[in-house]
Amino acid sequence: MSPNLNNLPSYDTVGVKERVDRFCKRSIKKSSKVEGLKLALGMIDLTTLEGKDTPGKVKQLCYKALHLHDSLKDIPAVAAVCVYPTYVKIAKKELEGSGIQVASVATAFPSGQSSRNTKITDTLFAVEQGADEIDMVISRGEFLAGEYNFVYDEIAEVKEACGKAHLKVILETGELDTLDNVRKASEIAMYAGADFIKTSTGKIQPAATMPVTYVMLDAIKDYYLKTGKMIGMKPAGGISTSKIALQYLVMLNEVLGEKWMNKTYFRFGASSLANDILMQLVKAETGYYQSSNYFSKD
């Protein structure tokens, strides 16, 4: 089923920013803050996506994912560890039996500048290696040229290649120029089969922003009202503090409601966020901040 892109709402940038600012001013009580921080921690995809990645670095990240409880008890595990396809098998072995998902980027991440066949092969390889989730990038050049059918078909083919793995579709909103384009790209991704829509690769600025995320949440809400299908959301890039994470959760709850307030339907792509949340939780429990050097930087 293809989306109808002719009758979509148009977004006023000033109006969206004013709406988002109201989410940021919500008061959160101490007990609710602690529960919110734990919820956010369990929604994080710990990520290493650098050209200098090594097997050792991937193993270290997996170790961190498995040992967050060393500093505090009664906290959730992160949702996933995200790596390049070549490191999926290593991550899968390291995380075996933990319940933590292995996610992999694919489709010529981060540029998306490759042939369709190469993108499908990339996806099939990641799934074969054991990826539970695939994070693909859309072809922004084709989208901005108005080749919406091309983008739709490519997502649909990648979705088919995913098999049982969940598909997160990265819009790279920092390159889409307008909020109306973000809405169009969200519609195309959802109707083409995305299980999640995701803001950014983290390689382009601006990455995730609350106005962009609001528009994507609004698209998810309308899609749910039309189809009854729940689509997940993943803001990624630039979300580094607990305060900002809680603001995103306030927005998520007010736009989509409690059914989306879990790692099945919401993720943060922000590895450094985990350290800040742990610092805040230790402060809430002990009354003292630990040094940021206490926590692994990876």
Catalytic residues: 135, 198, 234
Q: Tell me the pairing of strands 45-47 and 133-137.
A: unpaired
Structure tokens at 23: 């989410």
Residue with tokens 């002990």: 286
8 A C-beta contact, residue 201 and residue 238:
no
Distance CA 154, CA 13 (A): 30
Q: What are phi and psi of 173, to 5 degrees?
A: -60, -25
* CA atoms of 49 and 62, how far apart (whole Å): 14
Q: Is 116 exposed, middle or buried (0-12, 13-18, 19+ CB in 10 A)?
A: middle
Helix (H) or strand (E) holding 135: strand 133-137
